[in-house]
Amino acid sequence: MSPARRCRGMRAAVAASVGLSEVSAGSRSGRLFRPPSPAPAAPGARLLRLPGSGAVQAASPERAGWTEALRAAVAELRAGAVVAVPTDTLYGLACAASCSAALRAVYRLKGRSEAKPLAVCLGRVADVYRYCRVRVPEELLKDLLPGPVTLVMERSEELNKDLNPFTPLVGIRIPDHAFMQDLAQMFEGPLALTSANLSSQASSLNVEEFQDLWPQLSLVIDGGQIGGGQSPECRLGSTVVDLSVPGKFGIIRPGCALESTTAILQQKYGLLPSHASYL
């Protein structure tokens, strides 16, 4: 059975099992899940509103809705669907990196060139060693992750060959966002991650800004406004750094954390700047 067909069969069962209601979001194919408790509504759709801080304590009364959203997202991802999620920098589109059909769906709905890579989102630093050949100290990884950076390293054979088949490298993200870390850990596998917008258009800091994509998505998680949202710098995305060459680093995209990242790499670890060619 195809991932798409499994996806259709699982959605209703999952929604019922975790007490979530399905609400139309512009078409039959785009659905938003919300918990039984009331949630703020965006124009034309009901959304699950995660706490604005991006963190929920274990004893918080909001924890139940948080967990239900995680379960729904994991079920959709395992069924081969594409899910919109908040991160520490921008809203993103996530899918299972192991699902080739889902990878193709991400490129198709964004209108993204298949010659451009997707990042891989993980839940903890220890997972990086499974999917990459790491040539930097573990302390360096922990200094930068979780955080608003994408670290590009040589990929391992654990990753799906259909994920960025044109390059031996892969960009690793561990967002500094509690929901994304919980999601990646609960999913128990690598997630492909890219920004939630049409290619060549501005990135999204709230769910309304990519509302045109909702009909093509299976689930939208509303984490509220990301960042200040007032200056262009808020939309720069993560700083992308090539760490595939021992003793050197290359800035592929300056992003929102350029100064702090280069300071750590040069001053603390003595890495030398070099040209990067991942993209």
Q: Which residue ranges make up each domain of the chain?
A: 46-273
Q: Enumerate the β-bridge partners of residue 173.
A: 121, 150
Using an 8 Å Cβ cutoff, are 110 and 169 in contact?
no
C-alpha torsion angle, residues 208, 213, 217, 223 (rounded to 10): -20
Q: Is the pLDDT of residue 17 over 80?
A: no
Q: Enumerate the β-bridge partners of residue 221.
A: 48
pLDDT of residue 67: 86
- Report the pLDDT averaged over residues 181-196: 97
Using an 8 Å Cβ cutoff, are 220 and 32 in contact?
yes
pLDDT mean across residues, the chain: 82
What is the C-alpha separation between 102 and 271, in angstroms, rounded? 37
Report pLDDT digits (tens) over 194-223: 999 999 899 999 999 999 999 899 999 998
- Report the pLDDT averaged over residues 152-166: 98
**Which one has a higher pLDDT value, 32 or 166?**
166
- The DSSP-derived string for 76-124 is HHHTT--EEEE-SSSEEEEEETT-HHHHHHHHHHHT--TTSPPEEE-SS
Nearest to 249 by CA among 223, 270, 231, 221: 270
**Which one has a higher pLDDT value, 262 or 19?**
262
Find the angle CA(12)-CA(16)-CA(18) to the nearest 5 degrees: 120
Using an 8 Å Cβ cutoff, are 170 and 156 in contact?
no
Instruction: Write the CA distances from 71 to 36, 63, 217, integer angstroms.
Output: 14, 12, 17
What 3-state DSSP class applies to 221?
Answer: strand
Indicate the DSSP class of residue 211.
Answer: G
Q: Per-residue confidence at 62, pLDDT binned at 50, 70, 90?
A: low
Q: Is the pLDDT of residue 279 over 80?
A: no
- The DSSP-derived string for 122-171 is -SSGGGHHHHEE--S-HHHHHHHSSSSEEEEEEEPTTS-TTSSTT-SEEE
CATH code assigned to 46-273: 3.90.870.10
pLDDT of residue 49: 74
What is the C-alpha separation between 44 and 59, in angstroms, rounded? 32
